[in-house]
Amino acid sequence: MPANAYHHVALRVEDLDRSTSFYEQVFGGSVVVELELDPEFVHSIFGGPEGSRGLNRVISFGDWAIELFQLEPGGPIPPTKQTEVGLMHFCVWTDDVAGTVELVKRAGGKARFPIRPWQGKHFVYVEDVDGHVIELLDATVAECSVMTKDGSVPDHTAEAV
């Protein structure tokens, strides 16, 4: 079986500079790729209308990255309705959920609900400046596997932290 590893998540954004600033401020990333995309590329890869163009940035966080695309013509990013979209959210592990929520707010994002406890750990969903949903969690994948072996899930009714 081939080796596999997480690489990046790609997001369409309204304002490339605003979104870049958000991800640099909140998660400490840095731009490693910046490209202008010609109309043929945007049309053939993304199915954009003839004459579309785009801007692209990859922000690296060491072992993972976010790839941002600003397409023109574009439009507002529709609100993320997790019961209606394919990519509901992506999760970022952090050792300080509360501190990261504050960084999200200062960078122009928002929390969708208060931080909730989960078997001694914490989680919350936040939105970036375009409304993309990000789960912040202070449990590793291995810890989550142990925490959910009995079928339990985070208590969404628990008192906020």
Cβ-based neighbour number of residue 158 at 10 Å:
11
CA pair distance 52, 42, nearest whole angstrom: 6
Q: Which CATH superfamily is domain 8-72 in?
A: 2,3-Dihydroxybiphenyl 1,2-Dioxygenase, domain 1 (3.10.180.10)
Q: What is the structure's pLDDT at 35?
A: 95
Domain boundaries, the chain: 8-72, 90-148
Local structure of residue 159 (DSSP, 8 states): P
Low-confidence ranges of the chain (pLDDT < 70): 150-161
Any idea which residue has 């959910």 for tokens? 148
Q: What is the pTM of this model?
A: 0.88
Structure tokens at 74: 């574009």
Task: Supply the DSSP symbol for 138.
Answer: S
pLDDT recorded at residue 155: 60
**Which superfamily, per CATH, for 90-148?**
2,3-Dihydroxybiphenyl 1,2-Dioxygenase, domain 1 (3.10.180.10)
Written in H, E and C, the secondary structure of 5-19 is CCCEEEEECCCHHHH
Report the alpha-carbon distance of residue 11 to residue 150 in Å, rounded: 34
Q: What CA–CA distance (Å, rounded) separates 12 from 115?
A: 27
Cα distances (Å, whole numbers) of residue 149 to 6, 12, 66, 81, 153: 23, 35, 30, 28, 10
| pLDDT, position 160 | 60
Domains 8-72 and 90-148 share a fold: yes
